[in-house]
Chain A
């Protein structure tokens, strides 16, 4: 439909803008690192970089040029996909990110799906299960949302790996290896999503159209799957963009604990080694991923909720 194309175009423009602004922020972040920017690019004072190396970086990054020229050069390089060279990895930042991106994306998506499943299941059960279930459900969500990743990871390892011995405590190839990391990220997220879902599930269940469906002779199970769940999903889907971002944040901790590949771990070691080029590169790529993800969520929202489309038209 025509409204869609217009909408998409507008949103795509927004994405480009966000990326440009993000690039600008990272550019200035790089320049704000105290001391010699050339040295910062090489990893700060710890790099023990010789004068030749520093000189080469200056030339490469045009650090002797005026700031405007540097900025434009930087943007120009970004457009061609050149995010610079990581001193700590001895390779182009883009290559380094490319190697890790898939793992983080997989983890984030699996966690997102898992979080959704957990939140839906818990919310559905607690909404329909009476007072006690309600109290338990809201209690669980509350605690889940308040649990820091690093602590949860430990508890899960202790329980599933060491006590029960059914899941590997570190990432292993194959689907089994992703279970604990994904669970660690999914549980707190499910707490948040569940809180939102339960509210909206309750609202949906008290809506007149549910009465209509009951009056039509629909069973409660069918009503739940056909009607209420979808309504409850709307606000939670809207949160998925945010959720994706928070999962990426969580990946920083979780990937390290479970020794998984991924951007989060790269980022942490880059921060620890003050590999500024790598940090800004990762942040930029994540911003891109996040923006695209938001776009996807909005699209999903339009699919689930035709009303948003109608309004836009």
Chain B
């Protein structure tokens, strides 16, 4: 335990020489399987300690063990597991409940499901107050509003009466934080508090946690995203397979990663990495267990930055052939008698071998734009031309012969496959496209495709359900490639994946673009991904493209406030 600071905010509570959280040799196992295997960590008052790791690393279980909520059937043991001097493992039910919420506040990820959707958020906060303070109902109400104001929720009075569904993602997360800190806990455990949030919102939430730390609360931050913890954590622990493999200040961990796994994680972060640089390290460097499931091959050779830098990427060469031309696309939906403008006068072009990144918060019209481009939706106004010929609006029958020119990769790969079909059937279907071909060549082509996306051809007999997330997305890419398209629409292709897997898929997409001179429309809410992958960027808000230009310069002289917000978020 190295740092003791920030005790000034709550003097008398935090004992300077004892950490708020002291964990020694924590072991958690589920039916004999060790999920957390000998983790030790300390959090002092006013300190923010972050645990970083991918799904299944045991980081969440570690965090939850702190409040005795490791999960059903968990066997928890530790040489020491104390919070503010109390031994968590020996606490009785009642005292444990006093600890939860009172001494330790837990802030879970995804506030939409972590707050009871049926109850007003104010109630959830007031419940905490009722459990841990002596305040009467009126005082609790006042305190609730004050808390909501403190976490930076405008119109706190109104918000307190609203339900999670009526709040935006950022507002919800703030409300959840308010509930977590309502009883002035000495330790806040924040489990992925920013996942699924748009970048500017993410930055706000992190600032709020930073504020808490500065006020003397100990913060244990759990995240899969290294870049998130960078700005706020005092110390970072990297976990994989239930073991802490690296510990240090963010600067140490980021700049001089000691463990190969840490290195892989660091490398996989797309933010701030130049276009074309490989994010995934070679297979040999991977700890065997960290890789995705069976049968997946590494993405082939590791590429150094210099070989990867290809002429395609180095500029805004406007001479590339225009494949898609979208002009003035507008689409309005009528829901329950009201109009929702999904896209409003959206125009852009896609060129061969180049990527247009489309960023914006959820609901900004990105997906509708993609659907218009794919001809799944008719525009109310405007048109899309494909290879210089009309594409949308056009009767489906006339579009069909040219369908193969444009492919798509969806966010949720699993639901984009018929659950009854095997991988082979999915690909065969994409290859034949209704033509009757001899099975032999088709099989060969399936194997080819799987090879191309870095999968074992033996996977053809499996159903997508039994594949890992990365494998599914690769199959999805393979399907998109089967018809030999010229244009690919990538709708949040990596947002459901772990960082290292995300890196592999992004590298795969990058390589394919180069090999096949594909035009990409990349839709993402992750600005880091967008900046790494795109030649050009378009920023959408409320159905309109508010900024558009070369990726490298689009934010330079951004005028629109949202674009500035985005820019600031990236720089955090």
Contacts and interface: CB of A to CB of B under 8 A. Distances in A.
Touch A–B, Cβ below 8 Å? yes
Interface of A: 3, 6, 207-209, 211-219, 226-227, 230-231, 304-307, 310-313
A74 to B, nearest CB: 36
Nearest to A210: B116
B183 to A, nearest CB: 8
The 6 closest A-B CB pairs, nearest first, are: A215-B106, A217-B101, A216-B101, A217-B100, A217-B97, A208-B114
Contacts of B113: 207-209
B165 A307 contact: yes
A217 B182 CA distance: 12
B166 A209 contact: no
Interface residues of B, number: 36
A133 to B, nearest CB: 14
A214 B69 contact: yes
Given A217-B100, A217-B102, A304-B118, A312 B336 contact: yes
A145 B115 CA distance: 34
Contact of B118 (A6, A211, A212, A230): A230
B123 to A, nearest CB: 9
Contacts of B97: 217-219
A208 B337 contact: no
Contacts of A3: 336
B500 interface: no
B110 interface: yes
Given A227-B116, A306-B163, A211 B108 contact: yes
A234 to B, nearest CB: 8
Contacts of B165: 306-307, 310
Interface in B66-110: 67, 69, 93, 97-102, 104-106, 108-110
A306 B108 CA distance: 23
A218 B119 CA distance: 15
B128 interface: yes
Interface string B114-130: 11111100001001100
B132 interface: yes
Interface of B: 64, 67, 69, 93, 97-102, 104-106, 108-110, 113-119, 124, 127-128, 131-132, 163, 165-166, 176, 179-180, 336-337
A310 B69 contact: no
Nearest to A231: B118
A130 B117 CA distance: 27
Main secondary structure on B side of the interface with A: helix
A309 B105 CA distance: 32
Contacts of A6: 337
B100 A215 contact: yes
Nearest to A307: B165
A310 B101 CA distance: 30
Nearest to A216: B101
Given A6-B337, A214-B69, A208 B98 contact: no
Given A212-B179, A214-B100, A217-B100, A307 B117 contact: yes
A218 B166 contact: no
Nearest to A230: B118
Contact of B179 (A211, A216, A310, A312): A216
21 contacts: A208-B109, A209-B115, A211-B64, A211-B108, A211-B114, A213-B124, A213-B127, A214-B69, A215-B67, A217-B97, A218-B101, A219-B93, A226-B127, A227-B116, A227-B118, A227-B119, A231-B118, A306-B118, A306-B165, A310-B165, A311-B336
